[in-house]
């Protein structure tokens, strides 16, 4: 069955339900802003578990939106960089600088009112560098739904007061 037709059937089936339930905006679904695939994905991702330690929690505000009304990917990346930096400073016991970020794929949007939760896990430690796995999750507005938005591996370099690389101390 074509996707759009499936979406219409889903919209009819849920027409009598509250506007927002289980993280699904039924009003948006009926207006065609959301498709049935999004609905199924929402339900399925409830089982996922974040990797790492919760490092940053922040509300997504209207000032952070793009022309679509969704939150800027750059804002999410900035929060991830900050969270990775916090984990890096703790591990390196001092200043760090972001030197690289690997490829990122945004799985689904963040919306105004969602709480962005960023998890970090320190991975490989080099001489002066640290690879930190960072995951961004959205806690959907006024629900307990928790969905992964994106993840990436950030590399931070421990730096001294002059901004030059310094060895990462032993754990
Ligand atoms: C971070 C900085 C001080 C490192 O100085 P550098 O002379 O380039 O450092 P080095 O070549 O000695 O490399 C330092 C470490 O980074 C690693 N590294 C260098 N380039 C890398 C890259 N593209 N990806 C991953 N790791 C990298 C090196 O392997 C080395 O790790 P190791 O010591 O564990 O083996 C310097 O590059 C810098 O100031 N960059 C700008 C940082 C910044 O402003 N970030 C925010 C951007 S807005």
Compute the average pLDDT of residues 122-130: 98
State the distance from the centre of ligand 1 to the C-alpha of 32, rounded, in angstroms: 46
Residue 82, both tokens: 């900050």
Three-state secondary structure call for residue 20: strand
Mean pLDDT of 110-135: 98
Same-domain check for residues 24 and 81: no
Do 165 and 96 share a structural domain?
yes
59/27 same-domain check: no
User: Rounded distance, CA 32 to CA 17, Å?
Assistant: 17
pLDDT exceeds cutoff 50 at 143: yes
Q: Which residue has the higher pLDDT, 7 or 88?
A: 88
* Cα–Cα distance, 161 to 149 (Å, whole number): 35
Same domain, 146 and 128: yes
Same domain (yes/no): 14, 96 = no
Q: Are residues 72 and 95 in the same domain?
A: yes
Q: How far apart are CA 82 and CA 107, in angstroms?
A: 20
Confidence of residue 81 (pLDDT cuts 50, 70, 90): very high
User: What per-residue confidence (pLDDT) applies to 3?
Assistant: 39
| Percentages (nearest 5) of helix, strand, coil residues in the chain | 30, 35, 35
61 and 31, same domain (yes or no) = no
Longest Cα separation, the chain? 63
Whether residue 22 sits in one domain with residue 76: no
Give the chain's domain count: 2
Containing structural domain, residue 67 = 50-171
90 and 133 part of one domain: yes
Q: Which of 96, 129, 156, 159 to mutate to test the pocket of ligand 1 (most atoms within 8 A of CB)?
A: 129
- Inform me whether the pLDDT recorded for 142 exceeds 60: yes
The verdict on 171 and 120 lying in the same domain is yes
Determine if ligand 1 sits within 6 Å of the CB of residue 163: yes
Is 120's C-beta closer than 6 angstroms to any atom of ligand 1?
Answer: no
Instruction: Using the atom order of ligand 1, give the atom closest to the CA of residue 159.
Output: 3
Beta bridge partners of 133: 121, 153
* Cα–Cα distance measured from residue 43 to residue 47, given in angstroms and rounded to the nearest whole number: 8
CA of 153 to the centre of ligand 1 (A): 14
Q: Report angle CA 49, 107, 90 to the nearest 5 degrees.
A: 55
Assign residue 97 the CATH number of its domain.
3.10.129.10
Residue 101 CB less than 6 A away from ligand 1: no
Same domain, 37 and 61: no
Q: Coil, helix or strand for 137?
A: strand
- Residue 98 pLDDT exceeds 90: yes
Kindly report the average pLDDT of the chain as a whole number: 81
Expressed in angstroms and rounded, the spacing between residue 123 Cα and the centre of ligand 1 is 16
Q: Does the pLDDT at position 22 exceed 80? A: no
Q: How far is the CA of 88 from the centre of ligand 1 (A)?
A: 14
Residues 17 and 30 in one domain: yes
């Amino acid at each position: 069955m074509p996707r759009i037709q499936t979406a219409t059937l889903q919209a009819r089936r849920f027409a009598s339900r509250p506007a927002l339930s289980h993280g699904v905006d039924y009003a948006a679904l009926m207006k065609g802003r959301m498709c049935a695939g999004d609905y199924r994905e929402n339900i399925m991702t409830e089982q996922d578990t974040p990797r790492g330690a919760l490092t940053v929690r922040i509300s997504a505000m209207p000032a952070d939106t793009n022309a679509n009304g969704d939150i800027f990917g750059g804002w999410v990346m900035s929060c991830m960089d900050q969270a990775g930096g916090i984990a890096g400073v703790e591990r390196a016991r001092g200043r760090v600088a972001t030197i690289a970020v690997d490829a990122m794929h945004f799985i689904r949007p963040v919306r105004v009112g969602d709480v962005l939760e960023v998890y970090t896990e320190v991975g490989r430690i080099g001489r002066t560098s640290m690879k930190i796995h960072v995951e961004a999750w959205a806690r959907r507005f006024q629900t307990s739904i928790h969905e992964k938005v994106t993840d990436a591996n950030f590399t931070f370099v421990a730096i001294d007061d002059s901004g030059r690389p310094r060895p990462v101390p032993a754990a």
